Amino acid sequence: MSRATYHFTSESVSEGHPDKVADRISDEIVDLYFRSSTKAGMDPADVRVAAETLTTTNKVIIAGETRGLGVTNKEVEAVTRSAIKDIGYEQDGFHHENVDVQILLHAQSVDIADGVDLGKGTHKDEGAGDQGIMFGYASNEVKGALMPAPIYYSHRILQKLSEARHSNAIEGLEPDAKSQVSVRYKNGVPTEISSIVLSTQH
């Protein structure tokens, strides 16, 4: 297999893609909970946030379980609108000022909390609030990038596009964009970029 010639394609999406908007909002909520809870005197190790975000036309729905102190729904809504504004959504159908933000966060299940808290389960180190499967690896295909060439170049294209949008170097660009880069490999080594596809909202 390593001696075969083949093409490998990777895709990247911009900060304005609905998936990335949802990720950004969830990240902001996690940061808010840690910031507010530790300020209120809570041990950071005791803060728990599982915030799932869905975005669609004129609506953001935030659901999940949390454990923290000093966080209000008003603050959650504020960081949500701030994130949308920072990304650059100011258009009909999705505007940071008038998008409908629905917050369905509730306290973490007592059963889950008891199983996760250090020293409170059957075994001292027992407990996980959630689980998932992830994979990845570091690569030396692109010097200093530590990632495979197709995804590296897909990311870089969108980074440059985002810079052009935020600086208004290219007028009329909107936040949502996607890139795909295909790289030709021979003997396991990238030899050329065989195709680039870039789509952007404008």
Residue 125 domain flag: no
Query: Which runs of consecutive H residues, i.e. helices, occur in the chain?
Result: 18-39, 73-87, 110-116, 149-166
Which one, of 77, 126, 115, lies nearest residue 98 by Cα? 77
Reduced 3-state DSSP string for 146-158: CCCHHHHHHHHHH
Task: Kindly report, residue by residue over 71-98, the tens digit of the pLDDT.
Answer: 999 999 999 999 999 999 999 999 999 9
pLDDT of residue 126: 57
Domain assignment present for residue 132? The answer is no
Last residue of a domain, one of 116, 131, 153: 116
Is 26 inside any structural domain? yes
On whether both 62 and 10 belong to a single domain, the answer is no
Burial state string for 91-122 with b = 16 or more CB within 10 A and e = fewer than 16: eeebebeebebebebeebeeebbeebbeeeee
In angstroms, the CA 54 to CA 23 distance is: 9
Both 26 and 86 in a single domain?
A: yes
Number of domains the chain contains = 2
Residues 23 and 10 in one domain: no
User: What are the residue ranges in the chain where pLDDT is below 50?
Assistant: 1
- The predicted pLDDT at position 77 comes to 97
The answer to whether the CB of 166 falls within 8 A of the CB of 88 is yes
Statement to judge: residues 171 and 190 lie in one domain: yes
Do 76 and 111 lie in one domain? The reply is yes
User: Is-above-0.85 flag for pTM?
Assistant: no
78 and 28 in a common domain: yes
Q: Is 63 a member of any domain?
A: yes
Indicate if 56 and 143 belong to the same structural domain: no
Query: Are 104 and 30 part of one and the same domain?
Result: yes
Please check whether residues 9 and 42 belong to one and the same domain: no
Q: Is 131 domain-assigned?
A: no
Strands 90-91 and 94-95: antiparallel
CATH of the domain at 86: 3.30.300.10
Of the candidates 142, 174, 164, the one whose C-alpha atom is nearest the C-alpha of residue 10 is: 142
Three-state secondary-structure class, residue 9? strand
pLDDT attached to residue 13: 95
- Write down the pLDDT at residue 89: 94
Q: Which domain holds residue 79?
A: 18-116
At residue 29, the pLDDT reads 97
